[in-house]
Amino acid sequence: MAPCAVQTENLGKRFGKFEAVKNLNLAVAEGEIFGFLGANGAGKTTAIRMLCGLLLPSSGKGRVAGLDIYKENEKIKQHIGYMSQKFSLYEDLTPAENVEFYGGVYGLSRQALLKKRSELLEELGLTEQAETITQALPLGYKQRLALSCALLHDPQIVFLDEPTGGVDPEARRNFWDLIYHMAQQGKTIFVTTHYMDEAEYCNRVSIMYQGEIIALGTPKELKQKYGKASMQEVFIHLVDR
């Protein structure tokens, strides 16, 4: 098996008496597309924020890119790309200006930034929209832009939190084509979603319910184990049970 890009041991997070994440145990291999599935409120975003070094855990252990999520959480941010659930770029700037701004945040030189900007905008199909005010773009294009900014520093691990939320089926399919392309480049993709059909696109998936992982495996393994034809049916069966 490939080395682990993300590994946790009994990772947990409490907010007062509320236990948002309970005993999270994961081992995500380098180069894997790993689906983190669950309904809204299951604890997915809390878990991903801990792994990205944005939120300190309450218990357990974890390493991302070989770095400890307690002691080296600031270093982790240099090795990962993170696309948050809510669009967080500047609506009053163009895509080109947004990319330039975030390139400066990541410390890219002017020459490297211009080269990367051109490559990413072309790769993500945004070249024609490069000088359009971001606010005027359809949501699908905004999400591509957010992805391009997350990839500026060429991270090997990319965390995508509900990246296809609110877009039409065609935009969702196009976004998954981009995810496959990143995986072919050797990047590890950790993606959260509440769309169960998207589980079929992942190498392995976990299903989270009320802060806990209740199933883990390849889509094929889980469908065979529970005798279901789709991941949607697997999810409904497990949650109802």
* Closest listed residue to residue 51, CA positions, set 60, 41, 38, 39: 60
pLDDT > 70: what percent of the chain? 99
Position 62 pLDDT exceeds 60: yes
Which pLDDT value is given to residue 106? 78
Q: In the 3-class helix/strand/coil scheme, how is 139-176 assigned residue by residue?
A: HHHHHHHHHHHHCCCCCCEEEEECCCCCCCHHHHHHHH
* pLDDT tens profile 67-81: 999 999 889 988 999
> Which residues are paired to 179 by β-bridges?
none
Position 103 pLDDT exceeds 90: no
Position 95 pLDDT exceeds 60: yes
> Residue 143 in contact with residue 164, Cβ under 8 Å?
yes
* Closest listed residue to residue 85, CA positions, set 166, 179, 161: 161
Q: Please give the Cα distance from 122 to 240 (Å, whole number).
A: 45
Sheet with 18-29: strands ordered across:
18-29, 4-15, 59-64, 67-68
* Closest listed residue to residue 56, CA positions, set 36, 42, 72: 72
Residues 6+ apart with CB under 8 A from 231: 37, 196, 197, 199, 200, 205, 219, 222, 223
DSSP 30-77: TT-EEEEE--TTSSHHHHHHHHTTSS--SEEEEEETTEETTTSHHHHH
Domains of the chain: 32-57+77-240 (3.40.50.300)
Position 207 pLDDT exceeds 90: yes
* pLDDT tens profile 148-195: 888 888 899 999 988 887 777 887 888 888 899 889 999 999 998 888
Tokens encoding 10: 């009994």
> Residue 152 in contact with residue 108, Cβ under 8 Å?
yes
Q: Please give the Cα distance from 66 to 73 (Å, whole number).
A: 11
Position 98 pLDDT exceeds 60: yes
Position 2 pLDDT exceeds 80: no
Give 130's DSSP letter: T
pLDDT band at 140 (very low <50, low <70, confident <90, very high): confident
Q: How many CA atoms lie less than 13 Å away from 94 in the CB half-sphere?
A: 11
Cα–Cα distances in Å, from 130 out to 80, 82, 148?
25, 21, 12
Which pLDDT value is given to residue 31? 93
* pLDDT tens profile 24-60: 999 999 999 999 998 888 899 899 999 998 899 999 9
> Residue 61 in contact with residue 10, Cβ under 8 Å?
yes
Phi-psi category of residue 144: left, alpha or beta, with phi > 0 → left and psi -120 to 50 → alpha = alpha
> Which residues are paired to 205 by β-bridges?
35, 217
